[in-house]
Amino acid sequence: QQQVKQSPQSLIVQKGGISIINCAYENTAFDYFPWYQQFPGKGPALLIAIRPDVSEKKEGRFTISFNKSAKQFSLHIMDSQPGDSATYFCAANSNAGNNRKLIWGLGTSLAVNP
C-alpha cells in the first residue's frame, strides 16, 4: 500500500522552465513533508521540507506548496537548470508506534534539457 503517491514518474523540462512534481498522501497523522534530491551514483539528500501549518515554503528556486485539505503537496523548481537533473523523492513523516517513520514516494526522474 503506497501511502504517498508521487507523480509524474519522469519529467523533461527545458532550461529556464518550471518543473512541478506532485505528491498526495492519505494519513492525516503526517506532520512533516520533506523532499529529497538524488543525483546519479549518490545517496538522497534533503532539499527542502515543510510542516502542515504553512501553505508554502521557498528556498531559492525551490518552493513547496502544501494543501492540507486536499492532502497534497508539490515541489516547484523555478528557472530549472541542467544541474537540477536528478531524481526527486517526496516523503511524509509521522510518529508511528512511538517511532518517527518516513514514508517515501516512488520518485520522479527530472531531466532538464540545455
Contact 12, 70 (CB under 8 A): no
Tell me whether residue 69 or residue 98 sits nearer to other proteins (CB atom).
Answer: 98
Tell me whether residue 41 or residue 114 sits nearer to other proteins (CB atom).
Answer: 41
User: Taking the complex as a whole, how short is the minimal distance between the CB of residue 53 and other proteins, in angstroms?
Assistant: 14
User: Taking the complex as a whole, how short is the minimal distance between the CB of residue 5 and other proteins, in angstroms?
Assistant: 12
Tell me whether residue 11 or residue 17 sits nearer to other proteins (CB atom).
Answer: 11
User: Taking the complex as a whole, how short is the minimal distance between the CB of residue 16 and other proteins, in angstroms?
Assistant: 29
What gap in Å lies between CA 76 and CA 45, rounded to an integer? Answer: 17
What gap in Å lies between CA 56 and CA 50, rounded to an integer? Answer: 8
Q: What are phi and psi of 19, to 5 degrees?
A: -100, 135
Which chain residues interact with other proteins by CB under 8 A? 32, 34, 41-46, 49, 89, 93, 95, 97-102, 104-107
3-state secondary structure of 32: strand
Tell me whether residue 13 or residue 92 sits nearer to other proteins (CB atom).
Answer: 92
Q: What is the DSSP string of 83-109?
A: GG-EEEEEEEEEE-SSSEEEEE---EE
Specify the residue for cell string 520533506. Answer: 34
User: Taking the complex as a whole, how short is the minimal distance between the CB of residue 43 and other proteins, in angstroms?
Assistant: 3
